[in-house]
Amino acid sequence: MTPICESVTEAGPGRGTGRFSTRTQIVLATCACAGVSAFVYAVDPHQHAVYPQCLLYNTTGIYCAGCGATRALHALLHGRFLEALHDNALFVTALPLLGYLAGSHALTAWRADAWPKIIIKDPGLVRRGIGFVMLMMGFMALRNLPGWPFDWLKPL
């Protein structure tokens, strides 16, 4: 079986892939995520139009898999889990997994002081990617169906 991640040796320890070291990039990305989270916490998407609008919904009236994710994040940051689940159930349920994957990738990079190489040709990684895309397409289809059980999947 081909490993999913290998340590990058070409760049050398601490050099990362650009101007900043790997650890500096991780710290900057963490600060950016904290800043975005603070902004979403402070600025209510229901009250302000500073957030980008969904192009698919604005042109066709169809909810995409990401519609309501900003409102869901705002509700989660304020401790309103059921409201967040109503705004975008897929985002809310996928957020812990995405956080774990990003955190483990960053921890691996921090320990090696170099970004791990991701091998795209790994069949397991490709299968999981296709499965997640199919899940997103299914969620998108279900939230656009009319009727009672599916109306709950539409954002508020």
Return the pLDDT at 2: 46
What would the pLDDT profile of 60-113 be if each residue is shown by its tens digit? 999 999 999 999 999 999 999 999 999 999 999 999 999 999 999 999 999 998
Distance of alpha carbon 33 from alpha carbon 31, whole angstroms: 5
Distance of alpha carbon 100 from alpha carbon 118, whole angstroms: 16
Task: Check pLDDT > 80 for residue 126.
Answer: yes
Please tell me the number of Cα atoms within 13 Å of 143 on its side-chain side.
26
Stretch 123-144: mean pLDDT: 91
Task: Check pLDDT > 80 for residue 18.
Answer: no
Global confidence as pTM: 0.79
